[in-house]
Amino acid sequence: MKTKFFPHNRVKNATAYATLLKSHRVTMLENNIKIILITSCLSSIVTVIIVAFLLRNTAFVNVLEPRTAENSIKVGTRDESSTNRIAEGSTSNITSSVNLVRLPHAVKLGAVCLDGSQPAYYFRKGHGKGSTKWLVHFFGGAWCFDEVSCVQRSKTILGSTKHLPAYPPKLQGILSGDYKVNPDFYNWNAVLLCYCDGASFTGYLSQPISVDGRNVYFRGKKILHVIMNELLLGELKNADKVLLSGTSAGALAAMMNADYIRERLPKSADVRVFADSGYFIDVAAVNGQDIINRHFRNMVRVHNSINYLDKDCIKALKPTLRWKCIFPQHSIKYIQTPVFVLQSAYDPWQLINIRGINCQTPEYSDSFNVRRSRIYRRSRETERVSDHSTWRYKHIHGIYCKPPECTRLEMSSVLQYRNVSLFALRPVLLSKKNGLIVTSCLEHSQSVYDDTWNDVYVNGFSLSQAVGNWVFGRTAEHLYLDCEYPCNPSCSNVW
Q: Which of 373, 444, 445, 464 is catalytic?
A: 444
Nearest to 104 by CA among 137, 74, 75, 72: 75
Q: Which of 347, 431, 478, 482 is catalytic?
A: 347
Q: Which SS3 state, helix, strand or coil, does residue 444 take?
A: coil
Decide if 412 is catalytic: no
- Determine the Cα–Cα distance for residues 279 and 275; give it in Å rounded to an integer: 8
Q: Which of 117, 149, 245, 248 is catalytic?
A: 248
CB atoms within 10 A of CB 346: 27
- Determine the Cα–Cα distance for residues 268 and 185; give it in Å rounded to an integer: 20
Are the CB atoms for 351 and 281 separated by under 8 Å?
no
Nearest to 350 by CA among 282, 406, 303: 282
- Determine the Cα–Cα distance for residues 89 and 321; give it in Å rounded to an integer: 50
Decide if 115 is catalytic: no
Nearest to 443 by CA among 173, 195, 48: 173
Q: Residues 6 or more apart from 310 whose CB is under 8 A from it?
A: 256, 259, 325, 331, 334, 335
Decide if 248 is catalytic: yes
Calculate the dihedral angle through the C-alpha atoms of 163, 218, 445, 285, rounding to the nearest 10 degrees.
130
Which sequence positions are flagged as catalytic?
248, 347, 444
